[in-house]
A and B are shown apart, each in its own frame.
Chain A
Amino acid sequence: MANSEFDTIAAISTPVGEGGISIIRISGSAALAVANQLIKGPDLTQVASHTINYGHLIDPTTAEEVDEVMVSVMLAPRTYTKEDVVEINCHGGLLATNRTLQLVLSHGARLAEPGEFTKRAFLNGRLDLSQAEAVMDLIRAKTDQSMQVALNQLDGDLSRLIKRLRQDILDVLAQVEVNIDYPEYDAVEEMTSQMLKEKAQSVKQHLVALLQSAKQGKVLRDGLATAIIGRPNVGKSSLLNTLLHEDKAIVTNVAGTTRDVIEEYVNVNGVPLRLIDTAGIRQTDDQVEKIGVARSKQALDAADLVLLLLDSSRELTGEDRALIEATAAKPRIVILNKTDLPSQIDTGQVQAMIGDTPLLKTSITDHTGVDQLGALIAHLFFEQGIESHQGEVMVTNARHIGLLAQANEALDEVLSGLAAGMPVDLVQIDMTRCWDLLGEITGDSYQDELLDQLFSQFCLGK
């Protein structure tokens, strides 16, 4: 990371999930070359400096058009970093922004460290001494924040899977190292090209699946399957309508394929939600007799996130309790609605039943508490990492995607090296790179790990 100072870096330079346009900034000597591979439109190496150019962002591997974009080209030295800078203005929102960054990162740029553009500006003499202190504070603050976010994102399945893959690779590396450093010890099996090939292929399979999940951006594209449940007349359809109206950018209405219901796509604070069984919500509020826990449960099974509504103007019913229990295993938010009416519900009792589940008070008709709901959903998604239960493990973070793509390329090189008959200890150079890259995702990349593995696993020495 820090080794590659002054290579070409990129990052999203607008807040993610907010605003109609996102800007991906690329800085460094290869900035034009990186962007030029991705833009169908004018040849960026030929356009005048400090111009904005219209074009299409393409994925060169599939030639697919990803987005309609405006590209600013600014040549050194009259730029923020005093390096060549290209800024791709793409459509805002998580999906488009992430996809764009991902393409940039897999075509020659490295994800910028927090504060790195500013740091470069400073090192290249763009900022004066009086700004130095501010820059340092900025770098520090951003790093702490991003490390925190990175840590949070790493709870869960992705982190476990990456750690397992790294352990698998480490086993291989340790064995190769032992073969090299202790050639005469017969207790350690010789790692053969065939064995290395099998290991590389097995790790690769996982990485490809992960990248596939990223590529599809299941959550990002399909939205987080969200069920709004609750007793009749508790405010489900009001909430639905509010969410739909809040969202200026309803993506699409499509007919459900497995269930005969309409699903609505909304974007709440940057999180794409797929509201499931919206038809059911509408129907059941009209036709009181058809209601019930049974119907809700069906929606529940498919949900990644549950919004459970309780009526704060009534006492808790048996049905409420059943719903609370039925949703216990799901990421959920419990909403006490109708706070505009006198409270009858025992909040303490509800809190006791739901444990750490976030509890929110709203009056949807008065529009109070709705903003907090949006913020809470964003918090759950971005920082606590709800994962869709339909996919296996999912990768949504552009930095992770970039690293996974590079790790996968390293494995390709392992396999092509083996195919070319290269000895195991050379091919291992690329295997080690794969391990290091995966370590950047989980935050551990120390050579000491390898040595520890070596000496804990094998009995060596005189």
Chain B
Amino acid sequence: MEVSSAKQYEAGSYDVIVVGAGHAGSEAALAAARMGNRTLLVTISLEMVAFMPCNPSLGGPAKGIVVREIDALGGQMGKNIDQTYVQMRMLNTGKGPAVRALRAQADKHAYHRQMKLTIEQEPNLTLRQATVDDLIVEDGVCCGVITNTGARYRAKAVVLTVGTAARGKIIIGELQYESGPNNSKAAVKLSEALERLGFELERFKTGTPPRVNGNTIDYAATEEQPGDETPHHFSFDTPDSAYLPVKDQLSCWLTYTNPAVHDLIRANLDRAPMFSGLIEGVGPRYCPSIEDKVVRFADKDRHQLFLEPEGRDTDEYYVDGLSTSFPEEIQQQLLHQIKGLEHVEMMRPGYAIEYDVVAPHQLHPTLETKLIKNLYTAGQTNGTSGYEEAAGQGLIAGINAGRRALGLAPFVLKRSDAYIGVMIDDLVTKGTKEPYRLLTSRAEYRLILRHDNADLRLMAMGHALGLVSDERLAAMEAKKATVAAEIKRLATVRLKPGSAADEFIQAHGDHALKDSLTAAALLKRPYVSYDQLLEFIPAPATPLDRQAKEQVEIQLKYEGYIKKEEVKVNRLKRMEAKKIPANIDYDQIDGLATEGRQKLAKIRPETLAQASRISGVNPADLAILSVYIQHH
């Protein structure tokens, strides 16, 4: 709380100002600066740049693909984690290629330091600690920000990535206090400014588990979860040679809750803010607190807990699965009932945090607000949860703010382009009633949106945006050409009956060949890998690297399903191409159903395809709308 205000002064002007330097703000600022904009990044605390206040981990299903997409578009998250991970694992390896997911455990302190350094070293980008209290808005256009220190910065475009600092309130049992994440400062006045400007704010809630001292964990009572031997990395640019051998990675440790823990939780529910009514914010269903899990899934006698190292230069561990807002003393007791944690020292209690969200239907797909021109929002401010979701939006908001400042056309990813496109379309079209997390099931084209082809899907776009170098693009194009050439070659090489390949086929219980078979057709069989195939056919002139081999396999093996999804995408393209005029007055269109009319007026979709995804807008409304826009 300030007891007196600073005297305001003109502090200079920039092309783009980004408010908040979490995962969204870092990407936004770097993207805007790299596109050639003089950019200012303002953060409440320099110690919080790209900080991970929750899990020390990145990636996983859907989210891992987002990290790859950010990397392909020229963002920083993939590179940063490749430099600072302590463990890498590929998940879902037993499943199809669309859902394989890379996840890294991060050294959260190194991650923060590395990102901060990158930002500091970026030409065109200024990093400054201050709290933004107000926006400078003239005639409905955002022209800058005012900080608590009295600085008035002017800009052509402003990006807000305020996160849980927005009127943040931490709750631990009966204790509650104004705070941003990890006991940083809350941003209260900015929320008030947004309300004054007419924004509809919502109150969301999220939480984090206690941290414990690793020296006091009985590891023998837990199961070790080591990283992978096979090299993995998030960034296209990281070579396999940079991969850490498993012995140099840190493990996670698995333990479980038990009936004694659950009894203790049930006996103390009156002290759990989630149940005592103290918390009003809406929490995510997919990230429930332990008290929530025990109440909602009363028949389960145990829940998994993963003990995750927070970094190399610390013994602090994150107790994944034990997110809670119980009072500190109950948290202690809970921990001591858990196998392996009987004598653990709690270093920080878990907490719930409530914060303000800009209801995302108030945004264009560019993440510019509909209310105030040249003002963009991203990350948790838009109602999402997760570092990856935040970074993906931050990148798009930064790109669009940067392009606005440069006088260029906006950039929007379609649902068929990227998970980032799915997420933003969901947010601006459907809104969200709880912190939004990306799930693979949210994508209707997930076989097209794979982690292994993020570079092929998006790097050319990143290049056109000025975020991907010519060399990088050339490397991707070379990979693409190699893959295409090899697929073409495999369709012409034939395997004859009675050959070694035929024996191999029969050894796998398949029928003997009657006629010759192309190498491509053989590779489509589930038991054949590209490397095995090479035992029966001549090697290509230039051997393929690991990634190119993977592409050849996936593109051939799953060709049928990929084509099916491409057909769906192409059908939608005609509707995506039908733009709805920005100034359309839905009250002037006869025949729209009341619900459809209200929803259309609220969301103001930009294309017919987007309109078709609004719940409550039926096919007749769409027909009428398409007739109307054809003739007006």
Residues on A lying within 8 angstroms of B by beta carbon are 1-7, 113-116, 119, 122-123, 129, 132-133, 135-137, 139-140, 143, 173, 177, 179-187, 417, 420-426, 429, 446-448, 450-451, 454-455, 459-462
Contact = CB atoms under 8 A, between A and B. Distances in A.
A133 B590 contact: yes
Given A426-B561, A446-B615, A462-B55, A139 B288 contact: no
Contacts of A181: 61-62, 439-441
B623 A113 contact: yes
Contact of B630 (A123, A137, A177, A187): A123
A4 B571 contact: yes
B308 to A, nearest CB: 10
B620 interface: yes
Interface in B561-612: 561, 564-565, 568, 571-572, 574-575, 590-591, 593, 609, 612
Contacts of A135: 627
B624 A136 contact: yes
Contacts of B615: 446, 448
A278 B615 CA distance: 53
Contact of A462 (B92, B287, B447): B287
B624 A129 contact: no
A76 B306 CA distance: 65
B192 interface: no
B323 interface: yes
B591 A139 contact: yes
B322 to A, nearest CB: 8
A420 B99 CA distance: 19
Interface of B: 54-55, 61-62, 91-92, 94-96, 98-99, 101, 209, 284-288, 293, 296-297, 300, 303-304, 306, 320-321, 323, 439-442, 444, 447, 525-527, 558, 561, 564-565, 568, 571-572, 574-575, 590-591, 593, 609, 612, 615, 618-620, 622-624, 626-628, 630-631
A139 B624 contact: yes
Contacts of B320: 462
Given A425-B98, A429-B561, A450-B441, A140 B622 contact: no
29 contacts: A1-B619, A3-B612, A4-B571, A5-B574, A119-B623, A122-B630, A123-B627, A132-B628, A136-B590, A136-B624, A136-B628, A177-B439, A179-B95, A180-B92, A180-B440, A183-B92, A186-B304, A187-B304, A422-B561, A425-B95, A425-B98, A426-B96, A426-B558, A429-B564, A446-B615, A447-B442, A447-B444, A450-B441, A459-B288
B441 A454 contact: yes
Contacts of B91: 183-184
Contacts of A3: 568, 571-572, 575, 609, 612
Contacts of A132: 627-628, 631
Nearest to A125: B630
Contacts, number: 147
Contacts of A173: 441
Contacts of B306: 184
Contacts of B623: 113, 115-116, 119, 139
A462 B321 contact: yes
A7 B571 contact: yes
A345 B610 CA distance: 63
A113 B612 CA distance: 14
B95 A459 contact: no
Given A132-B631, A183-B61, A2 B300 contact: no
Nearest to B306: A184
B526 A420 contact: yes
B216 to A, nearest CB: 21
Given A187-B303, A455-B285, 7 more contacts: A113-B620, A132-B628, A187-B304, A421-B527, A425-B95, A429-B565, A462-B320
B618 A421 contact: no
Give me the 8 closest cross-chain CB pairs, A-B, nearest first.
A421-B526, A423-B96, A136-B591, A143-B620, A455-B285, A459-B297, A461-B287, A426-B96
